[in-house]
Amino acid sequence: MHSIPHAFDLNLLLVFRALYQHKSVAKAAESIYISASAFSHALNRLRDVMEDPLFVRMKGEMLPTKKAEEIAPSIFESLALISQQLFQVEPFDPISSTMEFVIGTTDYTAFCVLPSLMKRLSVIAPNIKIRIMFEQQEALFQSLVLGHVDAVIGYSEQGEMNHSAIVEQLCFSDRYVVVVPKRLYSTMRLEDYVEAKHIRVSAWGEHHGIVDRVLKTMGITRQIALELPNMMVAPYILESSNLIMTLPSKAVEQFRTIHEIDVFDLPIKVPDYTVNLYTLASHQTTSPQSWLSQILLNVFEPANI
């Protein structure tokens, strides 16, 4: 098996191709944006490696030797293959693409966005595949930076996002409400809220969200009877228990259509539940990822959620 000589500079192949095509050191150097002097030094290095002059000046032109003619097809083919496999960007056509996009999110956000997203994609990109990933926020941000995830959608109540490579765009804000079993309460006072036993949803894997932090400033601690990693099973538990829970209102609007529950305003003031779209900066994203980001932002427009 033959191998490339140690420390061989593959840029020398570009020098070979440029001179083969232009037959002039000055024109060849200009075509690859280096000086004529640097080009001559590179050509001499290539001659030493190949142990052949490769190009000889005749009648005012640099003409290829027999050796150069023999190796030219392989060099051109190799450069074309590298360009095609590593650097050529094919136009992205949503209507025909079969790409799979990976979106990191929480179950609440998926609950809000997926019906509208899949409906829209069925029309404008029917062969696109979507894979949803549920992980802790920090792990999803790392996957986004490493290119394993195309976008992250989630709430930002737990503090500032501190990844300089990631861009944050607001999708929507929502208010918290209290969800209780049907006819268990006629009102929801602070005393009722504190005395009740709660279901807590820890979507990002954190155990003390904004509600608990606000209560702590008031010297109050909730009684957590059940902690869940997602909210989808919670309404079924509410229907057969005396537990209560605090959720963003948009999810509750959907639950009310199929579950026997009552909804009250939260008896304490907490910041709104803010959902953001997290992507890499535009110069680090591919054309398909930029397209996906725009589709997601459109789905989150007020008329669509």
pLDDT tens, residue by residue, 193-244: 999 999 998 876 666 788 999 999 999 999 999 998 888 888 889 888 999 9
The fold of the 100-173+274-304 domain, in CATH, is D-Maltodextrin-Binding Protein; domain 2 (3.40.190)
Averaged pLDDT, 167-188: 92
List, for residues 23-57, the tens digit of each pLDDT value. 999 999 998 889 999 999 999 999 998 999 999 99
Q: Do domains 100-173+274-304 and 176-271 have the same CATH topology?
A: yes
At 1, the pLDDT band (50, 70, 90 cuts) reads very low
At 67, the pLDDT band (50, 70, 90 cuts) reads very high
List, for residues 118-141, the tens digit of each pLDDT value. 999 999 999 999 999 988 888 888
> What pLDDT does 84 receive?
67
- Every domain of the chain and the residues it spans: 11-87, 100-173+274-304, 176-271
Q: DSSP secondary structure string, the chain?
A: ---PPTT--THHHHHHHHHHHHS-HHHHHHHTT--HHHHHHHHHHHHHHHTS--EEEETTEEEE-HHHHHHHHHHHHHHHHHIIIII--PPP-TTT---EEEEE--HHHHHHHHHHHHHHHHHH-TT-EEEEE---HHHHHHHHHHTS-SEEEEE-TT-----TTEEEEEEEEE-EEEEEETTS-S---HHHHHHSEEEEE-TTS-SS-HHHHHHHHTT---EEEEEESSSTTHHHHHHTSS-EEEEEHHHHHHHTTTS-EEEEE-SS----EEEEEEEE-GGGS-HHHHHHHHHHHHHTSGGG-
Backbone angles phi, psi at 181, to 5 degrees: -60, 150
Averaged pLDDT, 168-181: 91
Averaged pLDDT, 273-285: 85
State if pTM tops 0.85: no
Do 117 and 296 meet the contact criterion of CB atoms below 8 Å apart?
yes
**Among 3.40.50.11030, 1.10.10.10, 3.40.50.300, 3.40.50.10890, what is the CATH number of 11-87?**
1.10.10.10
At 284, the pLDDT band (50, 70, 90 cuts) reads confident
Instruction: Tell me the percentage of the chain whose pLDDT exceeds 70.
Output: 90
The fold of the 176-271 domain, in CATH, is D-Maltodextrin-Binding Protein; domain 2 (3.40.190)
List, for residues 3-22, the tens digit of each pLDDT value. 566 667 888 999 999 999 99
